[in-house]
Structure 1
Amino acid sequence: MAVSTAPEATTSAQAAPGKLVEMNWDPITRIVGSLGIYTKIDFANRRVAECYSTSSIFRGYSIFMKGKDPRDAHFITSRICGICGDNHATCSVYAQNMAYGVKPPAIAEWIVNLGEAAEYMFDHNIFQDNLVGVDFCERMVKETNPGVWDKAQKTPAPHADKHGYKTIADIMTALNPFTGEFYRETLMVSRYTREMFCLMEGRHVHPSTLYPGGVGTVPTIQLFTDYITRLMKYVEFMKKVVPLHDDLFDFFYEALPGYEEVGRRRILLGCWGSFQDPNVCDYSYNTMTQWGRGMFVTPGVVVDGELVTTDLVDINLNIRILLGSSYYDDWDHEETFVKNDPLGNPVDRKHPWNQTTLPHPQKRKFEGNYTWVMSPRWLDKRTGDHLALDTGGGPIARLWATALAGLVDIGYIKATGHSVKIYLPKTALKPEVEFEWKIPKWSNAIERDRARTYFQAYSAAAALYFAEQALAELHAGRTRTFSDFTVPEEGIGCGFHEAVRGVLSHHLVIREGKIANYHPYPPTPWNANPRDIYGTPGPYEDAVQNTPIFEENGPDKFKGIDIMRAVRSFDPCLPCGVHMYVGNGKTIDTSHSPTFGLMQGAHK
């Protein structure tokens, strides 16, 4: 069977409105909320015409956090998510450190960094190889693109000597769920990486040893040895995984010319930074610009390939929370909590410090409001545009910002200004290697997935450095893991971190020693948000809308694999199941639709 191809995305706006097939995937199972993807597909032109992203569950953490003791914030907000709860706990602790004016001892910071590195290794591994990988496995490819499977059987894997699979088809077979060799191997990896996390933070995924001012983990030679033993197994594993995934992803570009358009959107990437350097970070807002740039993953906003800022103060002040097409009322007439930041800069009414959550349940209308997710935006002061930044699932934004900034150079990792070099030392069975993630041409599904693999290696390399620094503190006798603090009667704080799948910030206001306002913003609302007041679609919507269809099945057996690859490339809180419930689809006539033309032209 011939392999399907598609016209260039730039021709989509010229396609005449006609018969569209309405197809929906709801739920795409995930941890935080319930994601639904609603589409209208133009099968005649092999393209997605419209896309709407919905979430059908209201969380309300910003409401019931009020009045709580701020010292409980990290324990409570950890429960926001059942897979990256430690990221929330860490970010909350960062915000509390600022509000309390406390700096943890250096060894405590290295322990937190080791825990978070283990979380990245664990989560990216299980998502990439046990969930995303299924979209590229033999069974899925046979069902959706038999022509691609035929070609995969005849295509030698360029790096077979590194990973052991002779052909691309062998890699696809190894990814088959439960029966594939590589699939089963990665399940074992997820076990010992979780053990690494628990060594540092007590338990997964809701840490029992993280606190403002430090950690409750007792640092010993045995503790770090147990961690490093598992880490070196992971380092050896990554020497196999990076070339394996490069072979697989490169093959899709070769087998399906034009596949770079799947999930592609304008390069609008946000990274809030990760891994604090205790030699620089004191958690003071007044020095946040400096210690933000000292992070071992550099914060930054990348617009059309240009690094616009690496300043956490700038990043913070320009966050805007817009209602968009969501089920909330505006808070313009509510109390203003923070008029100026500690540096005297004015704080906008739409900033998280000043947000009041006013839920307004209502019937879903795609021409009106259709989701519980608001529309976070970042104000580009150069143009006045409210940018719909995405995280690309986390890794592509982290690597892109870090590469362009060129600030990270720790021996195991070096940012060059156009790439990130990752050095992994000799292990039991494999020699030392150096991988280089190079800034890609596109922000699309394949490159988001590829970056996830490289960031696993990045996390392992960073952990090697953190372990060395922690041991140096231990050998020097600096073993205290906690600094004393008092909770102020009034104060504000903000924490910036990277959850597994992208940007994470917590904004805290304290009055009379209690939480007066608290707003956590994880990557899900940044990626899954709806159209805003300016008509700008959210990242999922934008990435799927106008995506070409390469699947060889027609409407009667359509699985939507290209759409799912686009959505899953963002790592939308572990989508472990997709249920299509509209049968063969419903044909609708859009010849007289007032919105169809607008949707066709909304991409890029």
Structure 2
Amino acid sequence: MATTESTGKRAKGKRARDTQLVDMSWDPITRIVGSLGIYTKIDFKQKEVAECHSTSSIFRGYSIFMKDKDPRDAHFITSRICGICGDNHAACSVYTQNMAFGVRTPPIGEWIMNLGETAEFMFDHNIYQENLVGVDYCEKMVRETNPGVLELAERTEAPHAGEHGYRTIADIMRALNPMEGDFYREALQQSRLTREMFCLMEGRHVHPSTLYPGGVGTHPTVQLFTDYLTRLMRYVEYMKRVVPLHDDLFDFFYEALPGYEKVGQRRILLGCWGSLNNPDHCDYTYANMSHWGRQMYVTPGVIVDGKLVTNDLVDINLGIRILLGSSYYDDWTDHEMFVTRDPLGNPVDRRHPWNQHTIPHPQKRDFDDKYSWVMSPRWFDGSDHLPLDTGGGPIARLWSTALSGLVDIGGYVQATGSSVKINLPRTATLGERTFEWKIPKWSNALERNRARSYFQAYAAAAAIHFVEKGLAEVHAGRTQTWQPFTVPDEAIGVGFHEAVRGVLSHHMVIRDGKIANYHPYPPTPWNGSVRDSYGTPGPYEDAVQNTPIFEENGPDTFKGIDIMRAVRSFDPCLPCGVHMFVGNGRTVRAQHTPTAFGGSA
């Protein structure tokens, strides 16, 4: 952390006042993957963050080197975008290819994909919640940053102690201590179970070997689904402790630190692209996308100020805009438009991903001009370019699903219009349990984290239904997992899915049987976007800017825990582009120095 004190300065857009701002940066942010940097000006007199800039020093090059590739290879290549959620990219790419190739996955293939993707949700949310973001709330961290809060936690009985087994809030915090806490260690064991579940369905983690356009290569048997189910029910039993534990922990912070709801709070601007297709409805055609999108087991939606604007995937698709502003790229105003109208005849904007051209322009970082490799995706509502965020994924998914009220997953999950009810059946030692996620007052750090626990239970409950449907197909003898297809000379496709931490779309244009344009947009560009061409900050920047400071340490020993909680609540992940662009035909050579171990330095 670099610290520089500057006297008598004011943050941009702040009211005039004499103040002393301290420049503080965290670069890279720890406990995430990638090179996210957060640069702030902190007003210690007012105890708030006055200004924030989010940066990424890595370049995403897939939109360049996907050109001229065989479209059938798209999912294999794009799964390498990320070493964490590569399967989400592979699945989304398969959905994109299905549309472009005009092929429909057989039902059992769809159930297998849904089981793989729910296993990924369970795996990733669990390890992030308990082993990464959970450290922000553990006893060691709270002792260093807010000893007064820890003292209160020692005296505070946990309301759901009978369900999760920890008598006080301080006991929960100790259980989250890294490497030592028993709940921290238990979460690692659960992560192994869920990774095994994933590999049963998609072959390997994190770059699947069994996903293809037209279906899957996994061989469906009773044994396959049973092996998955035995692990799943152990996870279901674990979730009956996880949800009440986090309810107790996050509710305590509201009580212990009045005003803590403002940490990481921003205007409610949420996006969810939907997930987990229903094979009874999903034919992957653009003409029917509005219908089959609403039949997804996670309902797509755009939420503005707490209200559902649309749950129509066609509307969502047409509203996507890629803006530049503070990003290290040249504009593509004068370049070719690949798609002027969608398959329904609707006009497509020049700044839509189908028409985007990626023109990198490396340069020195300047917070008054260009300062990051991340572009600025926005959703255009007809008048404003909205900086939607995903809230780390779960809060947007639950909010959208709740408001639409369309989901009923075999009695295991029901959307009510104002909440989502999750019913977990009897397990080895615990009876049935129902949890209800209710739409919160705020989109802030604590509610993003709370939603993550509830969505783990949601994914587990949905997976039980998917196992039942898969077994029914096997018993009926319907075991074809793949449909043949041909690659057209010209086509367009779009896939909508949810990566673990939020919205994921892949847009593809095919010409002469090859990829002419390909643009994947995972949640990181949405959440980690920078000030766009209209000067609107991205979600990380917006959530940190104006966040109050509750940490008890002064500038000399300041850890920035409230800032870190705000940023990490989004589940940041920036490996979606550790690539290098060196121009056309340029060769880079490096001299390797041998080491004592026979390798090179």
Q: Same fold (TM over 0.5)?
A: yes
Indicate conservation of the 8 Å contact 2:116/2:202, yes or no.
yes
Quote how far apart the aligned CAs of 1:484 are.
0.6
Indicate conservation of the 8 Å contact 1:32/1:81, yes or no.
no
SS at match of 1:542: helix
Quote how far apart the aligned CAs of 1:261 are.
0.1
Aligned match of 2:569: 569
Indicate conservation of the 8 Å contact 1:30/1:573, yes or no.
no
Quote how far apart the aligned CAs of 1:30 are.
7.1
Aligned match of 2:295: 294
SS at match of 1:360: coil
Indicate conservation of the 8 Å contact 1:15/1:45, yes or no.
no
C-alpha separation in 2, matches of 1:122 and 1:17: 49
SS at match of 1:28: coil
What letter corresponds to residue 214 of structure 1 in structure 2? G
Indicate conservation of the 8 Å contact 2:14/2:50, yes or no.
no
Indicate conservation of the 8 Å contact 1:66/1:518, yes or no.
yes
Deviations 1:515-569 (A, max 9, x none): 0000000000000010011111000000000000000000000000000000000
Indicate conservation of the 8 Å contact 1:403/1:420, yes or no.
yes
Which ranges of structure 1 fall in alignment gaps of 5 or more residues? Answer: 1-11, 576-604
Aligned match of 2:128: 127
1:88-167 correspondence runs (5 A): 88-167=89-168
Deviations 1:270-311 (A, max 9, x none): 000000000000000000000000000000000001100000
Please report the TM-score for the alignment, with normalisation by the length of structure 1.
Answer: 0.92
1:479-498 correspondence runs (5 A): 479-498=479-498
Aligned match of 2:529: 529
1:20-419 correspondence runs (5 A): 20-29=21-30, 33-381=34-382, 384-410=383-409, 411-419=411-419
Aligned match of 2:6: none
Quote how far apart the aligned CAs of 1:242 are.
0.3
> 1:489/1:550 Cα in 2 relative to 1: closer, same or farther (>3 Å)?
same
Aligned match of 2:432: 432
Q: Higher relative CO (CA 8 A, sep ≥ 6), structure 1 or 2?
A: 1
C-alpha separation in 2, matches of 1:393 and 1:331: 30
Aligned match of 1:452: 452
Indicate conservation of the 8 Å contact 2:34/2:574, yes or no.
no
What letter corresponds to residue 35 of structure 1 in structure 2? L
C-alpha separation in 2, matches of 1:377 and 1:339: 19
Aligned match of 1:585: none
> 1:55/1:30 Cα in 2 relative to 1: closer, same or farther (>3 Å)?
farther
What letter corresponds to residue 422 of structure 1 in structure 2? I
Indicate conservation of the 8 Å contact 1:271/1:397, yes or no.
yes
Aligned match of 2:582: none
C-alpha separation in 2, matches of 1:318 and 1:118: 31
Aligned match of 2:587: none
C-alpha separation in 2, matches of 1:237 and 1:166: 18
SS at match of 1:348: coil
What letter corresponds to residue 449 of structure 1 in structure 2? N
Quote how far apart the aligned CAs of 1:574 are.
8.0
SS at match of 1:463: helix
Quote how far apart the aligned CAs of 1:324 are.
2.1
C-alpha separation in 1, matches of 2:474 and 2:571: 37
C-alpha separation in 1, matches of 2:167 and 2:19: 46
C-alpha separation in 2, matches of 1:226 and 1:137: 34
Identity among equivalent positions (%) equals: 78
Aligned match of 1:503: 503
C-alpha separation in 1, matches of 2:138 and 2:85: 26
SS at match of 1:275: coil
> 1:558/1:32 Cα in 2 relative to 1: closer, same or farther (>3 Å)?
closer
Deviations 1:65-105 (A, max 9, x none): 00000000000000000000000000000000000000010
C-alpha separation in 2, matches of 1:27 and 1:249: 26
What letter corresponds to residue 532 of structure 1 in structure 2? D
Query: RMSD in angstroms over aligned alpha carbons?
Result: 1.1
SS at match of 2:261: helix
Aligned match of 2:7: none
Quote how far apart the aligned CAs of 1:59 are.
2.0
Deviations 1:113-168 (A, max 9, x none): 00000000000000000001000000000000000000000000000000000000
Aligned match of 1:597: none
Indicate conservation of the 8 Å contact 2:31/2:132, yes or no.
no
> 1:282/1:17 Cα in 2 relative to 1: closer, same or farther (>3 Å)?
farther
C-alpha separation in 1, matches of 2:464 and 2:406: 18
Quote how far apart the aligned CAs of 1:19 are.
1.0
Quote how far apart the aligned CAs of 1:31 are.
6.9
